[in-house]
């Protein structure tokens, strides 16, 4: 069946949105990657899905390299095309996926940035405890470090998701998979201190449309990931420290658990990782930290 790449990509994106529950950000990235390929391949006269073969894809990867895209970006763009072409095979628009086995630049995999336990504790204690924003920020930092949430998971929390008496929190993770997590005693105390008068004062600043949201912005709406990142950067700058993102607290949560002897599969469950291999990066971080301590401390190192 002859089909233009534009029509195939439109159908693929609609199916991805409906069937895979992808975030708007991911869908926008998919769309941008595909449109870039369509523009490039159109200049070659390749407008039909059946005309895309391994040689065309190799030339496209080479073109991206010439444009000085990073290896990670090239890998992502190739992965997007592979997914679209795989979908086309499944729906009988192609007999086989020409992107299978396509050679792309190997990615460097730097170890995640991890705070020392003392630095993570100090960061959680930086926000003031005598105003609404400070109390909110303390609660956010304690939950990020104490439970290892992704920033999107944290921003999606509602009041009903938190039980400070039982010290548990209900999280909706990737793929809309729900998991129940413990929260630390400091996090429970910080949430209790925030969600009373402090939270009400923030809610009153808005129009109460986000009355269910746990963490609110200064204007009374649900706090978003960008606001959380800006907040963390503000406190890090106030200490003259290098800025970190919210994910560094998640990395620190996992690494400090493993440092303390936690089971890898338990950490996998807490983080909400689909595959154990994703969690294993933290064993490398933990090993590197132990090696550094050994080389610094042992007289024969």
Known catalytic membership, residue 273? yes
Structure tokens at 204: 């009153």
CB 138 within 8 A of CB 231: no
CB 33 within 8 A of CB 9: no
Known catalytic membership, residue 282? yes
What's the angle, vertex CA 79, arms to CA 75 and CA 81, rounded to 5? 120
Known catalytic membership, residue 250? yes
Q: Which of 31, 54, 174, 179 is catalytic?
A: 174
Q: Which of 136, 195, 256, 273 is catalytic?
A: 273
Q: Which of 17, 31, 59, 247 is catalytic?
A: 247
Q: Which of 82, 222, 250, 251 is catalytic?
A: 250
Known catalytic membership, residue 298? no
| H helices present in the chain, as ranges | 5-19, 24-43, 54-66, 71-90, 117-124, 132-147, 151-155, 185-194, 197-203, 225-238, 246-259, 264-271, 276-279, 281-297
Known catalytic membership, residue 200? no
Structure tokens at 299: 């007289």
Q: Which of 60, 194, 235, 282 is catalytic?
A: 282
Q: Which of 150, 195, 199, 222 is catalytic?
A: 150
Known catalytic membership, residue 145? no
Active site amino acids: 150, 174, 247, 250, 273, 282
């Amino acid at each position: 069946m002859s089909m233009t790449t534009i029509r195939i990509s439109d159908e693929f994106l609609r199916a991805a949105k409906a069937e895979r529950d992808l975030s708007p950000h991911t869908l926008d990235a998919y769309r941008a990657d595909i449109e870039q390929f369509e523009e490039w391949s159109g200049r070659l006269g390749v407008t039909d899905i059946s005309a895309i073969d391994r040689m065309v894809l190799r030339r496209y990867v080479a073109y991206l390299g010439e444009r000085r895209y990073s290896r990670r970006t090239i890998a992502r763009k190739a992965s997007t095309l592979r997914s679209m072409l795989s979908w086309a095979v499944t729906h009988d628009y192609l007999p086989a996926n020409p992107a299978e086995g396509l050679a792309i630049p190997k990615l460097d995999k730097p170890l995640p940035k991890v705070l020392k336990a003392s630095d993570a504790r100090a960061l959680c204690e930086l926000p003031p405890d005598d105003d609404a924003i400070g109390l909110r920020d303390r609660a956010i930092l304690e939950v990020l470090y104490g439970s290892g949430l992704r920033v999107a998971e944290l921003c999606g929390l509602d009041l009903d998701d938190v039980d400070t008496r039982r010290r548990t929190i209900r999280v909706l993770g990737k793929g809309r998979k729900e998991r129940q997590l413990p929260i630390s005693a400091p996090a429970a105390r910080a949430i209790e201190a925030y969600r009373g008068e402090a939270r009400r004062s923030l809610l009153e600043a808005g129009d109460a449309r986000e009355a269910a949201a746990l963490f609110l912005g200064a204007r009374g709406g649900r706090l978003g990931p960008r606001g959380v990142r800006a907040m963390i950067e503000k406190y890090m700058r106030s200490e003259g420290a290098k800025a970190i993102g919210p994910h560094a607290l998640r990395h620190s949560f996992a690494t400090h658990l493993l440092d303390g002897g936690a089971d890898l599969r338990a950490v996998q469950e807490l983080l909400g990782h689909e595959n154990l291999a994703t969690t294993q990066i933290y064993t490398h971080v933990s090993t590197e930290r132990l090696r550094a301590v050994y080389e610094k401390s042992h007289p024969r190192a």
